Amino acid sequence: MPHIIMNGQTTFNFEESAALLSRTRTSSTELLTGLPQAPFVLPITRPIHYLGSKLRIVDSVRELVDKVDPFHGPVCDLFSGSGTVSLALSDSRTVTAVDAQEYSRVLCSALLHPARLTKEALDLYLEKACWSEHARRLSWAIEPMVAHEARCRQDAEAGRVEPLCELLENASLILFEQNPKRIEDPTLSLAMTETVSRMHEAELSRMRSGLVMRYFGGIYFSYLQASQLDMFLEGVGSLPRSARNTVVAAILSTASDLVNTVGKQFAQPIRPRSSDGSPKPGLAERVARDRDADAIAVFGKWVVRYLALPPSEKRHRVWRCDYREALNKLKGKVSVVYADPPYTRDHYSRFYHVLETLCLRDFPAVSTVRINNADLMSRGVYRAQRYQSPFCVKSKAPEAFSALFSGVRRLGVPLILSYSPYKKETGARPRLVSIKELVELAQKSFRSVEAITPARMSHSKLNRVEKNKPVTYVAETFLVCEP
């Protein structure tokens, strides 16, 4: 039997991990089978499931940009997020994509600077990611939790749901390490104790090569899926630098598809119980829907989609920085600015903190909550130092919008600002700044301001806008402003 020797002790029996590893071994030939052949196909429209995605209005944004700047000059996507608008504009304009988050920089870089990978380079990556010593160590380390998770799901399908509830509520290894006594189920406690022990023995506990599994396994992903995400990330170092953003973006898209939460975001793990403490109906089916997905197959789908993006002759730029810093750097470099700032108190960094950690791989401190006079890590394992946007703070939002308006006005270029009006009957979050207040703030920077809703907007209305005049739109309400 093959073993590996560490510190003079026999520690791993690889045959015990064969069942897990057989699911991860693949080749570029298998992944590239579905690669689109047409050279100008744009197969990606939404890289991740994104809160407030502008996919549904992207054609309107593109039309408005063309109306205010018919000469197809450079455009800045000032809050680029998942990159949907940047991608839509990139075929006809040079784009500068700006966002404060690293996951956005990675996604936009992959979309605007498509990579090319040879079969040999992709095979080397897959070998490093899925069939390396690291992959074998990780597979061995998680066996206790993979087996326990499988038993919990089998029990739930047979009507015994309590073990699955306990797993979903307490499965994070990093939370267990902080407070082992939080777990009441002795079987779960035993499996987690053994997994933590194996992680230490395999020298994975303090290494970023096991970070996804340690932080997010069992909560947002199955343990097998989390370990496969770790394997994919660990192999990135074997790639040419020009291709790394593309592969990491494919990993982010994979994580977004796999995540086992409501709405495919990362703000709140599944709560398996109703308010009365009873297991929620259909819990086993809900868990199976996401956790049965094969991470290898999902990743393969995304890799070929990113590799199918057509090359661009334009010199797009991707900046990770604050909007004010970007406006200071943009002078003379753009002809129009598109801005889609947040408009509620919900910080996007909370909804996508897992993707941020996957990109940075930085062992973030976890935010805490006060429970029974003790500071405990948040159940969602949120980053303690998450980015806080001033647009999401009621006392800071007006000044942030004023800085945005005045900054674009100094550039002397049109601005298209998207802003969703508040409708109380929809149950949506109240807006921190109303449309009326936005108009008043815009009037301090622009000589003429007009608000237009999509229902009232028509081609004739757009045609009355004079060419080359700085104009501001706000949509789903549009503010039309002239300096």
The DSSP output letter for 56 is: G
- Can you give the pLDDT at residue 128? 87
In contact, 116 and 230? CB cutoff 8 Å: no
- Residue with tokens 């009326």, as numbered in its chain: 436
Q: Give CATH 3.40.50.150 domain extents, the chain.
A: 55-114+311-347+387-482
pTM: 0.87
- Can you give the pLDDT at residue 22? 44
- Can you give the pLDDT at residue 21? 39
With CA atoms as reference, report the closest residue to 283 among 151, 149, 168, 145: 168
Helix (H) or strand (E) holding 74: none
Amino acid identity for residue 309 in this structure = L
- Can you give the pLDDT at residue 119? 83
The 3-class SS string of 192-253 reads HHHHHHHHHHCCCCCCHHHHHHHHHECCCECHHHHHHHHHHHHHHHHCCHHHHHHHHHHHHH
Residues 6+ apart with CB under 8 A from 263: 49, 51
- Can you give the pLDDT at residue 35? 45
In contact, 41 and 91? CB cutoff 8 Å: no
In contact, 428 and 422? CB cutoff 8 Å: yes
Q: Whole-angstrom Cα distance, residue 269 to residue 265?
A: 9
- Can you give the pLDDT at residue 179? 84
In contact, 295 and 224? CB cutoff 8 Å: yes
Helix (H) or strand (E) holding 376: strand 374-377
- Can you give the pLDDT at residue 368? 82
In contact, 93 and 314? CB cutoff 8 Å: yes
In contact, 199 and 141? CB cutoff 8 Å: yes
- Can you give the pLDDT at residue 52? 66
Helices (H), 41-172: 58-68, 84-89, 102-112, 119-130, 133-157, 162-170
Q: Whole-angstrom Cα distance, residue 48 to residue 83?
A: 9
Q: Whole-angstrom Cα distance, residue 479 to residue 473?
A: 4
Strand 317-320 to 95-99 pairing:
parallel
> Which CATH architecture best describes the domain 55-114+311-347+387-482?
3-Layer(aba) Sandwich (3.40)
- Can you give the pLDDT at residue 296? 87
Beta bridge partners of 3: 13
- Can you give the pLDDT at residue 475? 41
- What averages of pLDDT result for each successive group of 10 residues across the chain (483 residues)? 32 37 54 48 76 76 87 95 94 96 97 90 87 90 94 95 94 89 90 95 88 94 95 94 96 96 87 93 94 90 89 94 95 91 67 92 85 78 82 87 93 86 56 81 78 52 42 50 59
Strand 95-99 to 9-13 pairing:
unpaired
